[in-house]
């Protein structure tokens, strides 16, 4: 396994909301990044998001280097083989165990055998993802928060077989990206989503049952409990599909108190996934 100082190239699987954010913060910290998605249009969208985000941060004087210098460190690709030189890989693809296990089995084939493989999963078992590989001790959870360039924290999740040195490396890597970390054992939802998902689902249910308008539901929770976003706007921000996947995992593992709200399922079925599709509980430009 590489020590932190030996990591030069970071592989990122997925160029969506989280993948492009992780690629951006890694490049901003000076790492070369290979960001892969399954289709070129997803790669291009991810690169566009990174460019917009870097321009916004530059306008606020929050970058030490020019956006162009940072952007040049990121190579977008659809070729799995481009991870061959990666010293560390962070997976941020769909929240689906089969998809993640297939990706980890592929990563095992294309990366050196001592490369640490991290997953950004919100709720899925690190131990089960790791079991798709022969290097279970090198698999760890690196759970970034959304939006990655803005949020200060990263949750490090230890699987049943994760080596202590790998856990330490995960903390050190996240800190090198300017984040603070905390640690969770590999239990459904870890610290954050175990508590957040029932809160979001209850907000959706209460709105659906007519307790308040969506605006008052969010306003009440913001002003009443001092959180920056209410449950409906936060669900739109995370992605309703991601919330549903996470809630279904928690429901399956922890029982009925985690049952996803009916309206969440209906909106996902309708393809209204929140900000990323322009419509969720609210509408976006």
Ligand X SMILES: NC(=O)c1ccc[n+]([C@@H]2O[C@H](COP(=O)([O-])OP(=O)(O)OC[C@H]3O[C@@H](n4cnc5c(N)ncnc54)[C@H](O)[C@@H]3O)[C@@H](O)[C@H]2O)c1
Q: Is 14 in the site for ligand X (CB under 6 A)?
A: yes
Give yes or no: 193 in active site. yes
Gap between the terminal Cα atoms of the chain: 45
Q: Distance (Å, rounded) from C-alpha 181 to C-alpha 194?
A: 17
Q: Is 242 in the site for ligand X (CB under 6 A)?
A: yes
Residue 205 phi/psi, 5° resolution?
Answer: -65, -45
Q: Is 94 in the site for ligand X (CB under 6 A)?
A: yes
HSE-CB at 159 with a 13 A cutoff on CA atoms is 27
Q: Distance (Å, rounded) from C-alpha 18 to C-alpha 27?
A: 14
Q: Is 213 annotated as a binding residue?
A: no
Q: Is 120 in the site for ligand X (CB under 6 A)?
A: yes
At residue 52, the 3 state secondary structure works out as helix
* Part of the chain binding ligand X (CB under 6 A), chosen from 31-39, 55-63, 157-165, 173-181: 31-39
Q: Is 16 annotated as a binding residue?
A: yes
Q: Is 276 annotated as a binding residue?
A: yes
Q: Which residues pair with 283 in a beta bridge?
A: 279
Residue 74 beta carbon to ligand X: minimum distance, rounded to whole angstroms: 15
CB-based closest residue to ligand X: 16
Q: Is 93 in the site for ligand X (CB under 6 A)?
A: yes
Q: Is 168 annotated as a binding residue?
A: no
Tokens representing residue 7 in the block: 């990591």
Q: Distance (Å, rounded) from C-alpha 267 to C-alpha 221?
A: 22
Residue 39 beta carbon to ligand X: minimum distance, rounded to whole angstroms: 7
* Part of the chain binding ligand X (CB under 6 A), chosen from 9-17, 158-166, 172-180, 202-210: 9-17
Tokens representing residue 68 in the block: 């162009």
Q: Is 121 in the site for ligand X (CB under 6 A)?
A: yes
Residue 218 beta carbon to ligand X: minimum distance, rounded to whole angstroms: 17
Number of residues in contact with ligand X, rule: CB under 6 A? Answer: 27
- Contact between 241 and 267 under an 8 Å Cβ cutoff? The reply is no
Asked if omega into 178 is within 30° of 0 (cis), the reply is no
Q: Which residues pair with 4 in a beta bridge?
A: none
Give yes or no: 226 in active site. no
Sequence-ordered list of residues with C-beta below 8 angstroms from that of 218, at least 6 positions apart, any chain: 203, 229, 230, 231, 232, 233
Q: Is 225 annotated as a binding residue?
A: no
By CB under 6 A, name the binding residues for ligand X.
Answer: 13-19, 36-38, 42, 92-95, 99, 103, 120-122, 143-144, 146, 238-239, 242, 276
**Residues designated as active site:** 122, 143, 155, 193
Binding-site residue positions for NAD(+): 14-19, 37, 95, 100, 122, 146, 276
């Amino acid at each position: 396994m590489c020590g932190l100082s030996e990591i030069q190239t970071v592989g990122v699987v997925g160029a969506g909301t989280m993948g492009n954010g992780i690629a951006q913060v890694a490049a901003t910290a000076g790492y070369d990044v290979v960001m892969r998605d399954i289709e070129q249009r997803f790669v291009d969208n991810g690169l566009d998001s990174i460019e917009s985000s870097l321009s916004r941060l530059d306008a606020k004087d929050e970058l030490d280097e020019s956006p162009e210098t940072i952007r040049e460190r990121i190579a977008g690709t659809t070729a799995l083989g481009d991870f061959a030189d990666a010293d560390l890989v962070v997976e941020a693809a769909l929240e689906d165990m089969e998809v993640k296990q297939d990706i980890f089995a592929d990563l095992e084939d294309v990366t050196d055998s001592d490369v640490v493989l991290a997953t950004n999963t919100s709720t899925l078992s690190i131990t089960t993802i790791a079991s798709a590989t022969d290097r279970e001790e090198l698999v760890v959870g690196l759970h970034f928060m959304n939006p990655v360039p803005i949020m200060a924290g990263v949750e490090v999740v230890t699987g049943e077989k994760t080596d202590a040195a790998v856990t330490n490396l995960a903390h050190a890597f996240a800190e090198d990206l300017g984040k603070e970390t905390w640690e969770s054992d590999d239990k459904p939802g870890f610290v954050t989503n175990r508590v957040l998902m029932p809160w979001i689902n209850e907000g959706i249910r209460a709105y659906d049952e007519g307790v308040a308008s969506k605006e008052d539901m969010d306003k009440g929770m913001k002003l009443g409990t001092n959180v920056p976003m209410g449950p409906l706007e936060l669900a739109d921000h995370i992605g309703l599909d991601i919330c549903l996947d996470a809630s279904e995992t928690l429901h399956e593992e922890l029982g009925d108190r985690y049952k996803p709200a009916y309206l969440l399922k209906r909106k996902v079925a309708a393809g209204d996934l929140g900000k990323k599709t322009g419509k969720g509980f609210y509408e976006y430009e």
